[in-house]
Structure 1
Amino acid sequence: MGQVYEAITPRLQQFIEAQHVFFVATAPLSDTGRVNVSPKGIDGTFAVVDDRTVAYLDITASGAETIAHLRENGRITIMFCSFERQPKILRLHGRGRVVSVHDPEFAQWQPRFPETIAARSVIVVDVERVSDSCGYGLPLFEGASERDMLIGHIERKGSEGISAYRVEKNATSIDGLPAFEEREDADPVHAEPSHA
């Protein structure tokens, strides 16, 4: 049976840290707007900050729905589910905010995560509700491994290419809401990666 918790317990934190994938759900306020669910799964990009706060490193990608929705209304749900022996689903409901790579605050969050010029922001969530359910209907998967394509794909664009990509792909949501604001005049936060 499912349970609601006052906060993220040490045992739940251990469960979170053992998962290889999580899902982020957000939605605009408009009743005609599209609900978005994004899968995430790069090791080291999710952090439990304390029993009521979590954060994850947001990597530059082809859309910016989560950013747009959080800027409009802040609602967010993060879901973890085990595809291994322990059948469990965990949901964190809360209010999220976007800390862009162009924000001074980003420097305080970046050390928690792998450093990469592919980073677009950190999503910080104040957790308001923690609940789990059985997960008995989920399949078992074995032998899963990290797919290390996204960060490398974005890093190969270089700083200028990433900036141009964000202007083209991340400025608005699919419903036309303002999303990621690229500041081309800003000082770069990260150094260029070195490729052997």
Structure 2
Amino acid sequence: MGKVLDAIDPKLAEWMEAQPLWFVSTAPLAEDGHVNVSPRGHDTFSVLGPKRVGWVDYTGSGIETIAHLRENGRICVMFTSFDGCPRIVRLHGTGTVLLPGEAGFEEVVARHPDNPSTRAVIAVDVTRVSDSCGWGVPVMDVREERDLIRLHAEKKGPDGMHEYRAQKNAFSIDGLRGL
């Protein structure tokens, strides 16, 4: 049986930051809106305090997380262990989108390797931390990180990335404002 924790303690923070893959889930308010679950990886996640986390958000083909957060702020971040002891941790909370030049953006970006695909920082004020067994999660080995996001951004260059975001990241699949 899982347990609900009061906050993110240092041992849990260390475990979460070591996970090579984690997931973010958001949804619009509309009853017919699309729930979005996005995988995340690379060295982008930081525990910023006992009830606050953040990550560097890279440019992707969609903008659902940012659009949903701007509309309603609801978010769940899930970590799962694919090796060693089985474990699942969920962080429920309220997310905020921080763009370059806004307070808090540099605090998170400075903790991670520079990446030309960086488009925003997502900060989450955590309201619930739950820890469960993960017994049903398979054991898997991580071979390596994919470097495609960085290579794509380098090939496009700053102007190309600006144009790509204007085309692909202006609105979510439900028509909510993105970037």
Fold match (TM-score > 0.5) = yes
Counterpart check, 1:27 vs 2:20: no
- One-letter amino acid of the structure 1 residue matched with residue 68 of structure 2: H
After superposing on structure 2, the runs of 4+ consecutive aligned residues of structure 1 that deviate more than 6 Å are none
Question: How far does residue 124 in structure 1 lie from its aligned partner after superposition?
Answer: 0.3
Counterpart check, 1:162 vs 2:155: no
CA distance in 2, matches of 1:139, 1:153: 31
Does structure 1 retain, via aligned residues, the 8 Å contact 2:46–2:108?
Answer: no
The 3 A distance-change label for structure 1 pair 94 and 143 is closer
Q: Which runs of 5+ in 2 are unaligned?
A: none
CA distance in 1, matches of 2:142, 2:49: 31
CA distance in 2, matches of 1:76, 1:147: 26
Question: How far does residue 109 in structure 1 lie from its aligned partner after superposition?
Answer: 3.3
**Percentage identity across aligned positions?**
51
Which residue of the partner structure matches residue 5 of structure 2? 5
CA distance in 1, matches of 2:158, 2:47: 29
Which residue of the partner structure matches residue 45 of structure 2? 46
Normalization by structure 2: what TM-score? 0.95
Does structure 1 retain, via aligned residues, the 8 Å contact 2:16–2:79?
Answer: yes
Which protein shows a greater Rg? 1
Question: How far does residue 102 in structure 1 lie from its aligned partner after superposition?
Answer: 5.1
SS of alignment partner, residue 165 of structure 1: helix
Query: Superposition RMSD on alpha carbons, in Å?
Result: 1.3
Question: How far does residue 85 in structure 1 lie from its aligned partner after superposition?
Answer: 1.4
Does structure 2 retain, via aligned residues, the 8 Å contact 1:25–1:76?
Answer: yes
Which residue of the partner structure matches residue 91 of structure 1? 90
Does structure 2 retain, via aligned residues, the 8 Å contact 1:93–1:128?
Answer: yes
CA distance in 1, matches of 2:69, 2:26: 7
Normalization by structure 1: what TM-score? 0.87
CA distance in 1, matches of 2:103, 2:155: 25
Q: Which runs of 5+ in 1 are unaligned?
A: 181-196
- One-letter amino acid of the structure 2 residue matched with residue 40 of structure 1: R
Question: How far does residue 143 in structure 1 lie from its aligned partner after superposition?
Answer: 4.3
Does structure 1 retain, via aligned residues, the 8 Å contact 2:25–2:76?
Answer: yes
CA distance in 2, matches of 1:85, 1:135: 11
Question: How far does residue 106 in structure 1 lie from its aligned partner after superposition?
Answer: 2.6
Question: How far does residue 165 in structure 1 lie from its aligned partner after superposition?
Answer: 0.1
What do the CA deviations read for 1:102-157 (whole angstroms, capped 9, x no partner)? 53653343212222221000000000000011000010112432112112212221
Which residue of the partner structure matches residue 176 of structure 1? 175
- One-letter amino acid of the structure 2 residue matched with residue 66 of structure 1: T
